[in-house]
Chains A and B, each alone.
Chain A
Amino acid sequence: MALKGILRPGFIQLRVLDMDEALTHYIDRVGLNEVSRSDDGRVFLKGWDEFDRHSFILREADQAGIDLMAFKVDSDASLNDFTRRLNAYGVATDEVPAGEQPGVGRRIGFTIPSGHRIELYADIEMSETHPAIENPMIWPVEPRGMKATRFDHALLYGPNLNEVLDLFTNVLDFSLAEYVDTPDGKLAIWLTVSNKAHDIAFVNHAEPGKFHHAAFFLESWNDVGHAADIMTHYNISRDVGPTRHGITRGQTIYFFDPSGNRNEVYAGGYTYYPDNPTRRWSADQVGRGIFYYEGELNEAFLSVVT
């Protein structure tokens, strides 16, 4: 199947405790570019290799965590189609008018059984600093900091994993690429709507609406090493890595922004096709699946979320 319907993760909005600290982190260290600021204090950012206007939004608040994650769909007709399918499935939707975010058309929002707000949209302006199109040089301005190319995916924590899986696979046309199985049922699921090993993932967790990490894609394992050098130099709070995930095979570092939201920088990962079988990890091998070289989970993986 060609890529149709939902195309990819479009943007994510996170809450931060201190915008000044957050911008130093995401712009100077991670290497995102600032696009604009809105009157209500939101700051819109993007990776250097993204065509769309923005992909990463920060909002200052009195607690950290995630406000929403949005996926881009291929057309307004698809947006109507997904709205109809969600409503028929029993999911209530609301509409955010065009322009609520600068440069973004109308968005359809809904709450999934894990307690997270997900949105779909079809229209967003092209970035003024988009990658070149005519005789394209690699970049218009050399990347900075960790050289994050794009917002890639997120891992979210919340309850009702089976219901989330059913909604994403049967209504939103995602595929289950991998999962961690336990005698009590699925512990974690990795879902893709594209050629990537995952576009969004969930871990079963009692408290709804929690955030584990947002990931930025890097070009290479060397860039993951460069990111580690930057984290060391600037004393950035690091969780684990550089290492590799068995699940998705991504080469990775988990670290934290100054408000405690976990970030990931990520390179590699396999190419997924919709006819690939779903990969399964048994409970006794979950450590290898999450942290391939260490072979075990660290204390923070299942407990430290915002």
Chain B
Amino acid sequence: MMHPVSERRPAITDRTKLAPMETLKKDPAFMADAAGTAPKTYRITFESGDSFDCREGEKVLAAMERARLRKIQVGCRGGGCGACRVQILQGDCDRLRMGKNHVDDAEAAAGFALSCRITPTSDMVLRNAVKTPVPRQKCA
């Protein structure tokens, strides 16, 4: 089958009715800044002991980049390439959709995630879990 029908998802937003401000208002860090209040933050700690603060609503990888730490490789930042794959040892988060070729359902249930697609809902402890490169394969 050449073009599998994609999973049914909610109707696509009419983008002409979305002002840029409406997008920003969904960002808790932006709203906290706008209100002059300190955004709520969670402490993200690597197994090695390095740690950084992640704002409510902020992607873990983005917070790591903001803290100028390089404990995980920064790739596409969109859930597509798998460079920033981690294992969550402690803590909870919300997840955006990420490539199933990098984190399948069983791995997600076991606490694996792409750090560019998770936002913390508690303090977290993480381990770098990038997959080893796929061995060279011959095509017919």
Contacts and interface: CB of A to CB of B under 8 A. Distances in A.
A17 B78 contact: yes
Interface in B1-34: 2-7, 9, 12-13, 15, 18
Interface stretch (B36-44, B47-55, B121-129, B130-138): B130-138
Contact of B3 (A17, A19, A42): A42
Interface string A18-39: 1110011001100000000000
B77 A256 contact: yes
Question: SS class of chain B's interface: helix, strand, loop or mixed?
Answer: loop
Interface of A: 17-20, 23-24, 27-28, 40-42, 59-65, 67, 96, 100, 109, 111, 113-115, 158-160, 206-208, 237, 239, 256-262, 299-300, 303-306
Given A27-B15, A206-B137, A305 B81 contact: yes
Interface string B92-110: 0000111111100000000
A259 to B, nearest CB: 5
B79 A17 contact: yes
Contact of A237 (B3, B78, B102): B78
Nearest to A37: B12
B6, B98, B134, B137 pick with most chain A CB within 10 angstroms: B6
Contacts of B91: none
A233 to B, nearest CB: 9
Nearest to A204: B136
A260 B139 contact: no
Interface residues of B, number: 37
B76 interface: yes
A206 B97 CA distance: 26
B99 A62 contact: yes
Contact of B81 (A115, A160, A260): A260
Given A208-B137, A306-B80, 5 more contacts: A17-B97, A63-B102, A158-B139, A206-B137, A299-B73
20 contacts: A17-B97, A19-B9, A20-B13, A60-B9, A62-B100, A63-B99, A63-B102, A96-B2, A111-B140, A160-B138, A207-B137, A260-B75, A299-B73, A300-B75, A303-B73, A303-B75, A304-B75, A304-B83, A305-B81, A306-B80
Given A23-B12, A113-B139, A304 B7 contact: no
Contacts of B96: 17-18
A259 B81 CA distance: 9
A260 B80 contact: yes
Contacts of B135: 206
A65 B80 contact: yes
A261 B27 CA distance: 23
A299 B2 CA distance: 34
Contacts of A111: 139-140
Nearest to A237: B77
A114 B81 contact: no
Given A207-B134, A208-B139, A60 B98 contact: no
A131 B65 CA distance: 43
Nearest to A239: B76
B135 to A, nearest CB: 6
B134 A64 contact: no
What 3 A-B pairs have minimum CB-CB distances, sorted nearest first?
A260-B80, A260-B76, A260-B78
A63 B101 contact: yes
Contacts of A18: 96-97
Given A17-B99, A237-B77, A256-B77, A159 B137 contact: yes
A237 B78 CA distance: 8
Contacts of B81: 64, 260, 304-306
A23, A111, A237 pick with most chain B CB within 10 angstroms: A237
A60, A100, A109, A304 pick with most chain B CB within 10 angstroms: A304
